Copies of this chain bind each other. A is one copy, B any other.
Amino acid sequence: MTKRVYNFYPGPATLPLPALKRAQEEFLDFQGTGMSVIEISHRSKEYDELHNAATELVRELLGVPDDYKVLWLQGGASTQFFMVPANLQVPGKPMEYVDTGTWSTKAIKEAKVYGEVNVVASSADDKFRHIPKDITFSDNAAYAHITSNNTIYGTEYHEWPDVPDDVPLVCDMSSDLMARKIDVKRFGVIYAGAQKNLGPAGVTLVVIREDLVNRAPESLPTLLKWRTEVARNSLFHTPPVFSIYMSKLALDYWNEFGGVAAIERVNREKAKILYDIIDKSNGFYKGHARKDSRSLMNVTFRLETEELEAKCVEEGRKRNLIGLKGHRSVGGMRASIYNAMTLEGVKALAEFMMEFMEENQ
């Protein structure tokens, strides 16, 4: 039997096993074509159907209104860090950002290439342990940018900041896409690298409100304008076929699972199990994020010493609980429990954490 572990890596991350099995089964012969899905032309009928089905699944699961476009792009969220300002800049208007950690900081750096940037709120002073409250964006901002979940610190917005009328809210949802119900209408642009909650690395989902599609200056390179791929249904050039295909199989799975409402219910249960252990551990496990900002996706915590943390990571590994080491910039431990991490996997981790505490208190 194939060995499978519980994979708590922060991304690329665990994927639904039934989707992986389906991909494996049809890997040499996609739907009777006699070709692997990665060998068929992106101009073929077979690929076209797959491509459109993936888009429709995103529309349905995320609840994308008709006046929004759905794009499959390459280059990761890191590429959207500069495509957002490149497409949404307005001469004379500041681009406004909230800084909630590494990924926001990187996005801010790229926006500065294109013009004036205001960081209207930041939790840097608190080592990014919380999401700022009472965020106020300017009336004349070109756009307002937030990062909904912060993988490294384990923080996540629990409510969305208000934005002035006519200021589009842009959100990097790479690490909590489809983790909970959202109202897409609150956002002008949502983007997400696939490799945490959607599928494998190599594709980036971008959802754009129609009226923002044409804002980009004509002088940009063709592929840096979102509207190039809007006009061509993300088929202006060869798309990252496998990553879209695998995302589609995962989306099929989530659709049958009951959609985002069902995903959210399980995600809340998973997160509660781990945060309860932390909170009831009398300080053996110390949560990194402030309670009012805790992430459903990345549970970050420290132990008394670095030696004990290393021991915990290693003993977890021996029990097939993989990827529990925290990011080097925060240290400690991190359990990434994205949509595809099962309740069973979280329970196995919880059991281990209880035992480890008893043995090492």
Contacts and interface: CB of A to CB of B under 8 A. Distances in A.
Interface of A: 2-5, 7, 9-15, 17, 20-21, 23-24, 27-29, 32-36, 38-42, 44, 74-76, 78-79, 81-82, 86, 106, 109-110, 113, 193, 195, 200-203, 219-224, 236-243, 246, 320, 322-323
B202 A5 contact: no
Contact of A200 (B21, B75, B221, B241): B241
Contact of A238 (B12, B33, B110): B12
B223 A79 contact: yes
Q: Give the copy number.
A: 2
Nearest to A228: B78
Contact of A74 (B79, B320, B322): B79
Contact of A34 (B5, B23, B27, B110): B5
Nearest to A13: B39
A24 B40 CA distance: 17
Given A28-B20, A82-B224, A35 B240 contact: no
B36 A240 contact: no
A20 B34 contact: no
A34 B219 CA distance: 48
Contacts of A29: 2-4
A238 B13 CA distance: 12
A221 B78 CA distance: 10
A201 B239 contact: yes
Contact of A36 (B20, B224, B236): B20
Contact of A35 (B4, B23, B202): B4
Contact of A246 (B32, B38, B237): B38
A238 B192 CA distance: 13
Contacts of A113: 219-221
Nearest to A41: B9
B27 A4 contact: no
Q: Which 6 A-B pairs have the closest CB atoms?
A: A202-B240, A5-B34, A82-B221, A38-B200, A78-B237, A74-B74
Contacts of A9: 39-41, 44
A78 B229 CA distance: 12
B41 A15 contact: no
B4 A28 contact: yes
Contacts of A76: 74, 237-238
Contacts of A27: 20, 23-24, 27
A28 B7 CA distance: 13
24 contacts: A3-B29, A3-B32, A4-B28, A5-B33, A5-B35, A9-B39, A12-B39, A12-B40, A14-B35, A20-B27, A24-B24, A74-B240, A75-B75, A75-B79, A76-B237, A76-B238, A82-B222, A86-B221, A110-B221, A193-B238, A202-B240, A202-B243, A242-B246, A243-B243
Nearest to A8: B41
